[in-house]
C-alpha cells in the first residue's frame, strides 16, 4: 500500500496566530505531500515497496531514507498540535519530565535551547530510551531517533520552511509560539 498524506485532525487555520493557514498550506500541503510522493516513487521496485515508514527509517539509506523519514517526521509533528487538548504534560509523562528535567519549565528551556542551536535544517526531539528515561536530541536534515533505537515523544521542525512565512528568520519566536499549540493529551499518550 502506498504511503498517504494523513488528514489533519484540525482545520488549517486552527493553529493561528501561532502557525498560519498559509504556512500549513505550504508546509503540510506542499512539503509534506512531496515527501510522501517521493517516498512512494523511490520505494517502487525495491525491497521497501509495501514496507512501513518505520522500516524505511531503520533500514533504508539515501533518498528513500530522507523522504520516508521526512514523511513520518511531519506526520508526527503535525499530529502533536491541536487547538484543544491539555496544555501541559499529563500522567506518567508529566512525572517523567519532572524526574528527568526538574520541571516542565526547565524542560521547555532545555528543549528550546537544543532547537535554537541546531545548525541549519533539522529536528529537535524529546525521546525515551528502553528504560523510559527522557532526553532531548538534535537531528540534522531528515534525522529520526528511531534509527538509534529511541522512541520519539515530541518533535519540533526547525527547517526554515516550518516558520519562514510567519516569522522569517526569527526561529526563537517560532519556538516560543510552538508551546501554545501542542496537544499534550496526544503527546502524553506516546509515552
Ligand atoms: Mn518541515
Tell which CATH classification among 3.55.40.20, 3.30.300.160, 1.10.8.80, 3.40.190.100 matches the domain 91-190. Answer: 3.55.40.20
Q: What is the CA radius of gyration of the chain?
A: 16
Mean pLDDT, all residues of the chain = 97
From the list 107, 77, 74, the residue with the least C-alpha distance to 187 is 77
pLDDT of residue 1: 66
Ligand 1 centroid distance, CA of 71 (Å)? 9
Q: How far is the CA of 102 from the centre of ligand 1 (A)?
A: 30
Rounded to two decimals, what is the model's pTM? 0.97
pLDDT in tens, 105-159: 999 999 999 999 999 999 999 999 999 999 999 999 999 999 999 999 999 999 9
* Span 18-29, average pLDDT: 98
Burial of 3: CB neighbours in 10 Å, binned 0-12, 13-18, 19+: buried
Contacts 24+ apart (CB under 8 A), 130-139: 132/96, 132/191, 133/96, 133/100, 134/96, 134/97, 134/100, 134/101, 135/100, 136/110, 136/111, 138/114
Nearest CA to 178 among 23, 5, 9? Answer: 23
99 CA distance to ligand 1 centroid (A)?
31
What fold characterizes domain 21-79?
Answer: Helix Hairpins (1.10.287)
Per DSSP, the residues of 45-90 read TSTTTT--HHHHHHH--HHHHHHHHHHHHHHHHHHTB-SSS-SS--
How far away, in angstroms, is 45 Cα from ligand 1 center? Answer: 27
CA of 27 relative to ligand 1 center, distance in Å? 6
With CA atoms as reference, report the closest residue to 110 among 136, 134, 80.
136
Q: How far is the CA of 75 from the centre of ligand 1 (A)?
A: 10
Provide φ and ψ at 163, rounded to 5°: -140, -5
Q: CATH 3.55.40.20 in the chain: give the residue spans.
A: 91-190
* Cα(155) to centroid(ligand 1), Å: 11
| Domain limits, CATH 1.10.287.990, in the chain | 21-79
- Give the Å distance between the CA of 14 and the centre of ligand 1: 18
Q: What is the pLDDT of residues 43-96, one digit of tens each?
A: 999 999 999 999 999 999 999 999 999 999 999 999 999 999 999 999 999 999
Ligand 1 centroid – CA 162 distance (Å): 5
Amino acid at each position: 500500500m502506498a504511503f498517504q498524506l494523513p488528514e489533519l485532525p484540525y482545520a488549517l487555520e486552527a493553529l493561528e496566530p501561532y502557525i498560519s493557514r498559509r504556512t500549513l498550506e505550504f508546509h503540510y500541503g506542499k512539503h509534506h505531500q512531496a515527501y510522501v510522493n517521493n517516498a512512494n516513487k523511490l520505494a517502487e521496485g525495491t525491497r521497501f515497496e509495501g514496507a512501513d515508514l518505520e522500516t524505511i527509517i531503520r533500514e533504508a539509506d539515501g533518498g528513500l531514507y530522507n523522504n520516508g523519514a521526512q514523511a513520518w517526521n511531519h506526520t508526527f509533528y503535525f499530529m502533536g498540535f491541536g487547538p484543544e487538548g491539555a496544555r501541559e504534560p499529563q500522567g506518567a509523562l508529566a512525572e517523567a519530565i519532572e524526574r528527568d528535567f526538574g520541571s516542565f519549565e526547565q524542560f521547555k528551556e532545555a528543549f528550546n535551547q537544543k532547537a535554537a542551536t541546531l545548525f541549519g535544517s533539522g529536528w529537535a526531539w524529546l525521546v525515551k530510551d528502553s528504560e523510559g528515561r527522557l532526553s532531548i536530541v538534535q537531528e540534522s536534515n531528515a534525522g529520526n531517533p528511531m534509527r538509534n533505537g529511541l522512541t520519539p515523544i515530541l518533535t519540533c521542525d526547525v527547517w526554515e520552511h516550518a516558520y519562514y512565512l510567519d516569522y522569517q528568520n526569527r526561529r526563537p519566536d517560532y519556538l516560543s509560539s510552538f508551546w501554545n499549540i501542542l496537544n499534550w493529551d496526544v503527546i502524553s499518550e506516546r509515552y
